[in-house]
Amino acid sequence: MNPMRRRRPSGDRGQVSIEFLGMTPLIILTLVLVWQAVLVGYTFTLAGNAADEGVRAGTAASREERYGVCRQAALKHLSGAWQGGADVRSCGGTGYVTADVYLKVPVLFPGLIAFPVTVHGHAGAVEEVKD
């Protein structure tokens, strides 16, 4: 038997473990970035839905009470983590009611800290005519 062809019994032992340990930080960083992207997308969805809910309630309310009704309806379906940094603006209009909702994007876990960037949701609908 050729001594060059003979395989050592412990030649590559543990190599996979070492490579996995080296890749672990990269795997964790990738998962964190994907999770943060999910939170940004979910915040956009919440902002749009809150604006839709606000404008829907605002079209049925009288002009005097429109802002309060619109704001309350926009914030009603937001969880506490997103309600804290929520800002509802311009719930009004004549003939065409609009609502703008601004939400802060949380960092990793909703309710702890937020990015200084806000997400904007906008909706509009024609005012209901009351007979």
- Grade residue 1 by pLDDT with cuts at 50, 70 and 90: low
Lowest model confidence (mean pLDDT) among 2-6, 59-63, 78-82, 106-110: 2-6
DSSP string, the chain: --TTTPPPTTSSTTHHHHHHHHHHHHHHHHHHHHHHHHHHHHHHHHHHHHHHHHHHHHHHS-TTTHHHHHHHHHHHTS-HHHHTT-EEEEEE-SSEEEEEEEEEEESSSTTS-EEEEEEEEEEEEEPPPP-
Is residue 17 predicted with pLDDT exceeding 60?
yes
For 66-121, how does the pLDDT look when each residue is reduced to its tens digit (9 = 90+)?
Answer: 778 888 888 888 887 777 778 887 777 677 888 888 988 888 877 777 777 888 88
pLDDT digits (tens, 9 = 90+) for 34-43: 999 998 898 8
Residue of higher predicted confidence among 7 and 36? 36
pLDDT, tens only, 18-32: 777 888 889 999 999
